[in-house]
Structure 1
């Protein structure tokens, strides 16, 4: 097996954890690839290769990240077209998507042996039409928000062409079941089983008594349009990436993509174990 190991070196624990992970993987006979921009010093004396991103994604059999949920989301986004199994090792605060903690590196032996299951997670496809036209994908969520702290925007939402909500507020978050435990949860949305194919829509600070979160089936297509007075459009961000600016009247079309992300799992109930261990009591 060839493993593409992606450590988030902005975290102090990342380099020593990555070196320890390399030792476990190599002991099981795996070949380890690291990103070309990773400093080689922490891996001196170890059998590793350093490759550019595209070559690494195409050459590997599995991807392992070391960091937090942001590192997993980054790797998922960059590797969408390659559809390789993705495993996260958590050294962050929450690590909700990670199925291995830093003290559980022995589980990497199970990865090499093939002793794991694949948890297919749905992606959102986000198409923006207007002055700034683009397409992006999101494993967690897409956020359409106001551009400034002292401003509000008017949000209009349709489902398959039928109006379902209109309100003034800070914006709206549209999430996958995977993302229902992230920003959408903070916005008052429900937690969905990650194996459900659906879409969650949560208004952000709606100035309204009649704008509850809503859950839509997998076949639905949501369209969000924004308007306002005296402000310069809105911002669109997928999975927390740098936002794109859109103009008033532009349309953000959100639906479930035919693409998915394959998360490595060692349990039938990883999501609910994470809820029990990492969300309860917070």
Structure 2
């Protein structure tokens, strides 16, 4: 039985093309059939790759391998959402929070893939429903990281109302709000001052952006609850909804956006058994030694050095200082 891997990468980056050539070579050597999602890249790799290419071939693939950063992984997620096919990210970007392997580990990742030496982890997505004035049917979508509602014009704040489970909670003027999954809590929501949520937290986070309000703190709801955000009639400007920084829709005044936990999680191939805490420390280069402890250690090191210097002060001939007046004569 032929095993297939579909590769998604950023064809505009030279380092991605170099990594792609290595990945194709290693996958072929491991017995995989390889397909490329990018038409132009597939054609540049020759006729045999064009024949293997299938845009609709995600379901036939064992894994979708992503060569790139988190943005490329979010693009690949659009292919696998609603399927059972896991994503395997190889980081070519800066942080690469969603990636499982680094560029230098590509060969080892392929070998473990060939041996099926990995586990599949499911990540919750946010289900999004938009009802715009005058439209009988709501528009639906989803987000792996976050759905962001922002003012459509930079000169004014957008006025929004927030409900949880159909009950009014608060309303205020702001630049917008971020509605994030646990996966997305380390992305846009984190930059806006939201908390870091461990991946197994089955909730949806809301983070206001520059809210003109006394009560505008991040909120987290559980898996059976939902948010409803309304662009209020008094709002001087409309808004725009963006899912994962990729898919956008205009929100005229009077629009409502409902966000809840989605029914279909995304699947990721995981090869590391390290806990999320280690990933957090590594990706953000967190100082696990506090500055007070580091300062104490530095002070102690300076004290030891000073004591050693006082005890072993050298004379011009390289020997210890002494009170014996004949010592230099004897050395000569």
Structure 2 unaligned blocks of 5 or more: 288-332
* Shift in Å, 1:25: 1.4
* Shift in Å, 1:157: 0.9
Distance of 1:48 and 1:243 partners within structure 2: 32
* Shift in Å, 1:183: 0.5
Question: Is the contact made by 1:2 and 1:60 (CA closer than 8 Å) also made in structure 2?
Answer: yes
Question: Does residue 16 of structure 1 match 2:21?
Answer: no
Equivalence map 1:40-119=2 (5 Å): 40=42, 43-44=45-46, 49-54=51-56, 56-105=57-106, 106-119=108-121
TM-score by length of 1: 0.93
SS of corresponding position for 2:112: helix
Report how many aligned residue pairs link the two structures: 280
Distance of 2:190 and 2:38 partners within structure 1: 37
Equivalence map 1:91-170=2 (5 Å): 91-105=92-106, 106-131=108-133, 133-170=138-175
Distance of 2:114 and 2:156 partners within structure 1: 51
Question: Is the contact made by 2:145 and 2:181 (CA closer than 8 Å) also made in structure 1?
Answer: yes
Question: Does residue 215 of structure 1 match 2:216?
Answer: no
Question: Does residue 255 of structure 1 match 2:256?
Answer: no
Distance of 1:36 and 1:104 partners within structure 2: 23
Question: Does residue 182 of structure 1 match 2:187?
Answer: yes
Residue 26 of structure 1 corresponds to which residue in structure 2? 28
Question: Is the contact made by 2:82 and 2:265 (CA closer than 8 Å) also made in structure 1?
Answer: no
* Shift in Å, 1:60: 0.9
**CA spacing shift, 1:42–1:273, aligned 2, 3 Å:** farther
* Shift in Å, 1:49: 4.4
Distance of 2:129 and 2:49 partners within structure 1: 43
Deviations 1:99-118, CA, capped at 9 Å, x for gaps: 11111112121112110111
**CA spacing shift, 1:18–1:81, aligned 2, 3 Å:** same
Structure 1 unaligned blocks of 5 or more: none
SS of corresponding position for 1:276: helix
Q: Which has the higher strand share?
A: 1
TM-score by length of 2: 0.79
Residue 4 of structure 1 corresponds to which residue in structure 2? 6
**CA spacing shift, 1:65–1:221, aligned 2, 3 Å:** same
**CA spacing shift, 1:270–1:111, aligned 2, 3 Å:** farther
**CA spacing shift, 1:173–1:266, aligned 2, 3 Å:** same
Q: Which has the higher helix share?
A: 2
Distance of 2:275 and 2:34 partners within structure 1: 26
Distance of 1:89 and 1:11 partners within structure 2: 14
* Shift in Å, 1:40: 4.2
